[in-house]
Amino acid sequence: MSGSDEGDYRGGGVRAGAPGANLLAVRGHNTALVLGLLRAAGEAGASRLELAERTGLTPQAVSKITARLRDEGLAAEAGRRASTGGKPRTVLRLIPGARHAVGVHLDRDEITCVLADLTGRPVAVRRAPLDLAAGAGPVLAAAAGEVAALRTEAGGPPVLGAGVACPGPLDHTAGVLRQVTGAPQWDGFPLRDALADRLGLPVVLDKDTNAAALGLARAPEEAGGSFAYLHLGTGLGAGLVLGGALHRGPRTGAGEFGHQVVQLDGPRCACGRRGCVEALCLAAVARGDLPAAARVLGVAAANLVELLDVDRVLLGGRTVLAHPEEFRGGVARVLDGYAALRGRPVPAAGGAPAVPVALARGGPRTVADGAAELVLAGLFR
């Protein structure tokens, strides 16, 4: 903690009860608050007075923080805005290209890498085949090679770190993989630390669906709300945002959506159980019965909605993207059917969907974009 910021805290620089107060790391927290507001303000920017009003910090404290951000190249003055009284206010904006984050999606058969600026916008993207079942050596080599090529293509900009998203289960706190469905040889492997050594960057590790949900939660329409992101690709999982916050569970176990049993004594799943929604859904896709696949996904989504009362359902993953309207429409029909059974208005009766279903933004980059957000979230809190 710097002496100046600590002085602001002890001497009344932070107003009592304000969002910036009563924290051990006052400087880091308050700087993150200001950076987050500048990020949200976009091209319009924000004045120091507006930043003070929104953070609960004094104008003097905000001035010190913004001066430091300017010195570090993260923010810049960008003109003046008319004031309702007194002199025009100087507007500050975030400089998107001042720093970058790498997002890596390790899928079972493909690696996708993005380089995102501070707004989360991808400035470079790479995609290549991958065999996750090949084990640590080949996968680490592939990831290191793709990230190096990505940074070279972008001209070598400053990078904060790399977010890595892959199938679970895993322990995101320890950075260790657990018994990944279909690839048990990864159980106990410290992927985060191994990749940090190979990349020469700080690394954050999380499940693919959690990363995607974190990135999607940044959309203004999702602010403070609850949604489920359902990812159907080579497997099936969910990312949960409840009350505006990503819900991982204490053991990173939340969102193992594909392994809820919906048919007792059904077909064997790769996880060892029978009748999992993942096994049923992927089997329907394999035999070309998309309506059945969408219906199974919809039933599982309805179970989730009934359990958590989320506001909306977002769909993604390569299998969904290959047949977007079939899956979106099929899941929506099941949810509307459940709503009708409860006496709620549905579109067929002139009402709005009880729980809207939409395709997640980002398309094939949704998880990789979210992986980059794993890093950026640490800067913007």
User: What pTM does this model have?
Assistant: 0.88
pLDDT one-digit tens code per residue, 271-282: 889 999 999 999
d(CA 158, CA 31): 20
Give the CATH class of 220-360: alpha beta
Domain with CATH 3.30.420.40 in the chain: 98-212+367-380, 220-360
d(CA 246, CA 240): 6
Q: How confident is the model at residue 4, as a pLDDT?
A: 39
Nearest to 254 by CA among 197, 321, 209: 209
| Two structure tokens written together for 62 | 């905000």
Which residues, given as ranges, of the chain have pLDDT below 50? 1-26
- The one-letter code for the residue type at 291 is P
Q: How confident is the model at residue 256, as a pLDDT?
A: 85
Which residues are 228's β-sheet partners? 240, 313
Residue that the structure tokens 């059904």 belong to: 266
Q: How far is CA 175 from CA 103, 170, 178, 193, in A?
A: 16, 7, 10, 7
Q: How confident is the model at residue 25, as a pLDDT?
A: 39
Q: How confident is the model at residue 79, as a pLDDT?
A: 83
Looking at domain 98-212+367-380, its CATH architecture is 2-Layer Sandwich (3.30)
Domain with CATH 1.10.10.10 in the chain: 3-94
Q: Which contiguous run of DSSP H or E holds residue 92?
A: strand 89-94
Q: How confident is the model at residue 345, as a pLDDT?
A: 61
CA within 13 Å, CB half, 93: 13
Report the topology of domain 3-94.
Answer: Arc Repressor Mutant, subunit A (1.10.10)
